[in-house]
Amino acid sequence: WFLGGIKKGQKLTNDLGGEVLDINCRAIKSKQGGKVFEGLVQTDGVSISIFKKCKAKKKTNNTTDQTSNIKTHDTASIVKTKMPKTKKGRSKGEFEFEYIESIDQDKLCVMEGNCVLIDPGRGDLLFCMHEYSSIGNPWLFRFTRNHKAKLTRSTKFRKILEAAKKMYPDNTIIEAEQRLAKVSYTTVAPDEFKKFIEVQAEVWPLLNKFYSCTQTNSTTNKKLLHQQLRLAAYLNSQRADHTLANLIREQFGLDPVLVLGNWSAAMCKYHEPIRGVGMRSMLRKHGFKVYLLDEFRTSTFCPGCCEDRVVHPEELVPNPRLYPKENRREYVTCHGLLMCQNKKCVEYVANNMKPANHLGKEPAARF
């Protein structure tokens, strides 16, 4: 929100903002870098963020006098080209990754024996396989969702929040959140949005008190519970990324070349979304060479005979799910096992272990 009564370029004084903020506060005062506070702040009920603007520098005409004498065909050499910006302010070059199919043969020869093929997914967040992996000598690495949950301690934090909600009498916090979830805040219908405002006004005092004033159970040093959990969740996620990078280096060497599949999916019920661009950027930030692999129709391509004849077989396997035991089928179809229709080939291949043939290597696994 913006402090009222302040015009653009007007200096903030105690008369204008003193009733809301302490103008003489160290965080609000102007610094040597030229950043000035003009009255824009943002708060989530727990913390507050202060926005400052840089002073506009005066433009000089010295550059125009120097460039006016340059010929027209030389002006292109002095123009600085900038990368196009996305909606979030990031340059597109930050998200651009080169495809392994477009690399020259000379570079492929240099990378031979050092490539790690990675298939991102939901259960296995990363299924990594070295290009020389085989059935006799498997060279694999799996980073599962459960492993990430242990590193980030998300299950423990969720249980702490649930216990804090149950401490309120008659489960008032849970009922208030359920009431608020029944109305939509994204609707454009006036009547439905009016209902949302009414429900939010009723439950806001209770929820605001719970999320902004709940403290930890420590007897000596009490702190805000939700603020501590958010900070711990962020730090744990950063540690999990460092741990993943170290595990990859321990398994495949200090400088492996990572080839990731370019397929990703959005949010699915009871599953977190597949981490695509964020995972690639994180791996590249940790010093890995990251390339993409086009996964179009890879599930129908046989690495044995190199023909597009692979189908899902009607193979039944014991149900790996233990719970719930009621109404549970003993045998289910194995969707991860594929079969080639070519009569000369007729082999079974694991779906997540086939991308090696795109690099001209031997088949990754055969059953």
For residue range 12-49, list pLDDT tens digits in order: 554 544 556 676 777 777 776 677 777 777 776 667 78
Please give the structure tokens belonging to residue 240.
């999990």
228: Cα separation from own chain's centroid = 22
- What string of DSSP letters covers 207-227? HHHHHHH-B-S-SSS--BHHH
HSE at residue 94, side-chain half, CA atoms within 13 A, is 14
Q: Where is 231: in which H helix or E strand?
A: helix 225-252
pLDDT of residue 310: 63
SS3 (DSSP) at 102:
helix
Please, what's the b/e burial string for 232-270 (b: 16 or more CB within 10 A of its CB; e: otherwise)? Answer: eeeebeeebbeebbeebeeebeeebbbbbbbbbeeeeee
pLDDT of residue 221: 84
Placement of tokens 């129709």 in the chain? 297
SS3 (DSSP) at 263:
coil
Average pLDDT score over residue span 359-363: 38
Quote the mean pLDDT of the chain. 75
pLDDT of residue 332: 80
Placement of tokens 């006016």 in the chain? 68
What sign has the CA pseudo-torsion 356, 347, 139, 119? Answer: positive
Across 75-79, 292-296, 325-329, the highest mean pLDDT is recorded for 292-296
Please give the structure tokens belonging to residue 127.
């299924």
Q: Where is 292: in which H helix or E strand?
A: strand 289-293
Tell me, what amino acid is at 359? L
Check whether 347 has a pLDDT greater than 80: no
How far apart (Å, rounded) are the C-alpha atoms in residues 50 and 67? 41
* pLDDT band with cut points at 50, 70 and 90 for residue 293: confident
Placement of tokens 């080169």 in the chain? 98
Query: Which residues are registered as beta bridge partners of 43?
Result: 48
Check whether 264 has a pLDDT greater than 60: yes
- Tell me how long the chain is: 367
Average pLDDT score over residue span 283-295: 90
Cβ neighbours of residue 53 under 8 Å, at least 6 residues apart? 35, 36, 38
Share of the chain above pLDDT 90, in %: 28
How far apart (Å, rounded) are the C-alpha atoms in residues 282 and 288? 9
* pLDDT band with cut points at 50, 70 and 90 for residue 314: low
pLDDT in tens, 193-212: 999 999 999 999 999 999 99
How far apart (Å, rounded) are the C-alpha atoms in residues 337 and 290? 28
**Taking Cα atoms as reference points, which of 159, 151, 163, 166 lies closest to residue 233?**
151
Share of the chain above pLDDT 70, in %: 65
pLDDT of residue 245: 95
